[in-house]
Amino acid sequence: MNIFKISSKNLIRNKLTTVLNIILVAFGIGILSILFLATNQIGNKLEKNAKDIDLVVGAKGSPLQLILSSVYHIDYPTGNIPAKDAYKLMQNPMVKRAVPLALGDNYNGYRIVGTDSTFSNLYGLSIQMGNFWHKDLEVTLGSTIALTSKLKIGDSFFGAHGLTGNGDIHKQHAYLVKGILKPQGNITDNLILTNIGSVYKMHEEKHKEGYSHTSAEEAKEINDKQITALLIQYKSPMSVILFPRMVNQSTNMQAASPAMESARLFSLIGVGIDTLQWFAMFIMGIAALSIFISLYNAMKERKYDLAIMRCLGASKSKLFFLVMFEGVLVTFIGACLGLLIGHSALEVIGAYQESSQAKLTGFTAVPQEIYLIWIGLFIGTLASLIPAMQIYKVDIAETLTKDR
């Protein structure tokens, strides 16, 4: 028998009110925790995947689309650029490292990326098993793909045309798995890497089709071939201003900066996040009001209980604490439940997500979530403050001589 037991017994006695209040708090906290976790994870992913990429050069079109397709591998490419022009840019003195990309095929929804060894340098890739790709039609798998597709070294598979779906399979050539990458925690876990020549070979008979596919083995061959995009790392930060302008003005290609485009993307999503945040705050406000009203109303009946406890020797401050504790207990349970709801909801969302590139998970926590518990406790304190103050006004002698 202690204050905790008295409070919880009283809460159990008023089951419906207690459950309502807990649910209100839990929903508010739940929504906030989903927002925290999702923005945190998306932000992290965006940042991680674009870490060392200063600029992307691709076909003219939406710069955001260019970034999404060639850095995050989410959207479709804007088109193709002539390999000749791209290789000219790669020779520019401001460029420290340039990675050519040729997109266009997939295997079970995982993108097959034609590139060269600079790609593995850019992302700092290392091999878990086997080797990097060397010849045409050899591939190295990202770790996630190796896990989900059950492909092993020495296995071969057919790629399908397009970036999603298995509709149009390239039956004439099979890829051979040469190696599997170590888990990197970024987009490369979900990519199948090969050389540009393979992508070109796949499409030899289908030159006229929409996506870009090119070979880059020999300079002569390159001349009228195309690639999808170029990931560029600058030699010095000075180039941030000069290089994009040069690309946009003097060539038929466009340059887009991942940092700027993801900032723009975030400001677009930001409106939705803000709205949800206000909505969650609103629910929390309702929860506080509901707790306040139920405690305040209960005080009419509880006056007797509290007067008896005073008679039995409890001090006013002890009873003040008792009433406060009840409100805080409800919001604390609600806050914990809310975090649970938030995490499991995000895990469920992640499980149903189609794009494997930006999967969300509920099995991580962010430090801000501690604040959510504090917010819950604060709301509980706020809502029970006025009801608890009633303790100081109750006239015990008078209360107890009156009938219930």
Instruction: Specify which residues 269 forms β-bridges with.
Output: none
Does 13 interact with another protein (rule: CB under 8 A)? yes
Nearest to 180 by CA among 172, 171, 189: 189
Nearer CB in complex with another protein: 13/264? 13
Helices within 91-142 (DSSP H only): 117-123
Taking CB under 8 A as the criterion, the residue among 315, 353, 355, 364 binding another protein is 315
Q: Judged by CB, which is closer to another protein: 268, or 397?
A: 397
By C-beta, is 47 or 395 nearer to another protein?
395
Binding of another protein by 16 (CB under 8 A) = no
Q: Which of 245, 317, 321, 306 is nearest to 3 (CA)?
A: 321
Q: Is 305 in the site for another protein (CB under 8 A)?
A: yes
Q: Specify the residue, 171 or 404, whose C-beta has the smaller distance to another protein.
A: 404
**116 CB neighbour count, 10 Å cutoff:** 18
Reported in sequence order, the residue ranges of 229-330 that DSSP labels E, i.e. its strands, are: 229-234, 253-256
Q: Give me the numbers of helices (H) and strands (E) for the chain, helices first please.
A: 13, 14
Q: Does 316 bind another protein (CB under 8 A)?
A: yes
Q: Which stretch binds another protein (CB under 8 A): 60-68, 196-204, 234-242, 309-317?
A: 309-317
Single-letter code of the amino acid located at 177: V
For position 250 contacting another protein by CB under 8 A, the verdict is: no
Contact 157, 100 (CB under 8 A): no
300 binds another protein (CB under 8 A): no
Of residues 101 and 324, the one with the C-beta less far from another protein = 324
With binding defined as CB under 8 A, does residue 246 bind another protein?
A: no
Q: Applying CB under 8 A, does 321 fall inside the site for another protein?
A: no
Beta-carbon contacts of 105 under 8 Å, excluding residues fewer than 6 positions away, are 111, 112, 159, 160, 161, 162, 163, 170, 199, 202, 213
For the bound state, the minimum distance from the C-beta of residue 185 to another protein, rounded and expressed in Å, comes to 52
Q: How far is the CB of 15 from another protein (least distance, A)?
A: 11
Which residues inside 82-141 make contact with another protein, applying CB under 8 A? none
Question: Identity (one letter) of the amino acid at 131?
Answer: N
Rounded to the nearest whole angstrom, what is the least distance from the CB of residue 190 to another protein in the complex?
56
Q: Is 403 in the site for another protein (CB under 8 A)?
A: yes
d(C-alpha 266, C-alpha 315), whole Å: 54
Q: Does 317 bind another protein (CB under 8 A)?
A: yes
- Let me know if 8 is exposed, middle or buried by CB neighbors in 10 A (0-12, 13-18, 19+): middle
Least Å from the CB of residue 10 to another protein: 5
Pairing verdict, β 138-141 and 175-181? parallel
Residue span 370-399 as binding mask against another protein, x where in contact by CB under 8 A, dash where not: --------------------------xx--
By CB under 8 A, name the binding residues for another protein: 1-2, 5-6, 9-10, 12-13, 304-305, 307-318, 396-397, 400-401, 403-404
